[in-house]
Structure 1
């Protein structure tokens, strides 16, 4: 089970619960005026992801990256967590988000991934945008420099493998995304809390920053 001692989102360096060296990178902000944050694979399930209620507004998004190379020389990097920072403070507890609108199992909130990417977006905005089958050619892989694929591949954008892109058809809405660690799967959503119960962040745990031999599928109901 994930605990404060084993959770490594937004931690840096070697002295972490992870067996790998970690680094944290800013991806800009996600705009959530509705206060309904969607965690989703944006290429396959946009508009149908897990929804967590958060304070309405714009919140920083950060990706925690693990160096999984044997020599720890930066030659093999994988995204370990995608996080929305809601407030600053000392983390006292890690748990499934208490404000999730649905559970995928007993006490479990998760994100199915079928295109190797995870993202955060305003849930009301995705409902208004009404993504459909035309989006692949029009927005995801249009061949233009501003397509979502191109943005993720552009080292001059926010970071290779990541993107912060407008959500078509909804003024001011955006999608902040990152590669999903090892790829497709079903990944848990965690929340971090201060001692007074304030939710400090929402995190998609991509099961990269785990101890050797650990079984993340047995974590917090993930096998459900």
Structure 2
């Protein structure tokens, strides 16, 4: 896999050509993700907020989330190509596909071209801490049992996505716990539904410097 595309896509106004289209990449900082436990979850927050966190634990803290959005000039379409959680300003020198604690996710078992990733059924992906994921999941089932849609945090995420909709892409930054400031940062997933891999970027001293979800455009 050519990981150079990750670097290029986060250079603002980077131009690429995919016949017969010219594509311009722009970056957008859509807020800081609060990691309360360091257990990072990437998933479809509207359908699968109960997804497992990644096996690797990060340092708790606040980290910017940056989107790389491709502008297809021919039809004036804009799509989120990559979502990055930026942990450090250091340059990554290698990448490793992220896996959860699911025993079936063993990188050594993957054939060339195969991936582990999360499924999207609502056209939306996200980053959040496992603490936030648990709160969202509980609110979804509580709202389902009481039929009070407004208390469902997934409904609040949907509303924020609609507020920030622009030219076939959107994003949302929703606090789910006022005491810890745990939040979910959600964004449109490329062309929509699918299965999308996430990668950890490591620097020369083997520290994780960023986390990128690839929406396979």
TM normalised by structure 1 equals 0.76
Q: CA deviation at 1:154?
A: 1.6
Determine which of 142, 163, 180 is the counterpart of 1:154: 163
Query: CA offsets per residue over residues 37-56 of structure 1, 9 Å max, x none?
Result: 11010000002144242111
Give, in whole Å, the separation in 1 of the partners of 2:102 and 2:154: 31
TM-align CA RMSD: 3.0
Give, in whole Å, the separation in 2 of the partners of 1:202 and 1:131: 27
Equivalent pairs counted in the alignment come to 198
SS at 1:84 equivalent: strand
Partner of residue 118, structure 2: 111
1:188 matches 2:187 = no
SS at 2:132 equivalent: helix
Partner of residue 207, structure 2: 198
1:124 matches 2:131 = yes
Checking the alignment, whether the CA contact within 8 Å between 2:29 and 2:66 is kept in structure 1 is yes
Give, in whole Å, the separation in 1 of the partners of 2:170 and 2:106: 32
Partner of residue 28, structure 1: 31
Say if 1:141 and 1:112 are closer, same or farther in 2 by CA, change over 3 A.
closer
Deviates more, 1:147-156 or 1:57-66: 147-156
Give, in whole Å, the separation in 1 of the partners of 2:26 and 2:196: 20
Q: What are the residue-to-residue correspondences of 1:1-224 with 2, within 5 Å?
A: 2-7=1-6, 8-14=8-14, 20-51=23-54, 52-70=56-74, 75-97=76-98, 100-102=100-102, 105-107=105-107, 108-129=115-136, 130-133=138-141, 134=143, 137-138=149-150, 139=152, 147-155=156-164, 161-167=170-176, 171-208=180-217
Gaps of 5+ in 2: 108-114
Query: CA offsets per residue over residues 43-75 of structure 1, 9 Å max, x none?
Result: 00002144242111111111110112327xxx2
Say if 1:12 and 1:206 are closer, same or farther in 2 by CA, change over 3 A.
same
Gaps of 5+ in 1: 209-224
Q: CA deviation at 1:128?
A: 4.7
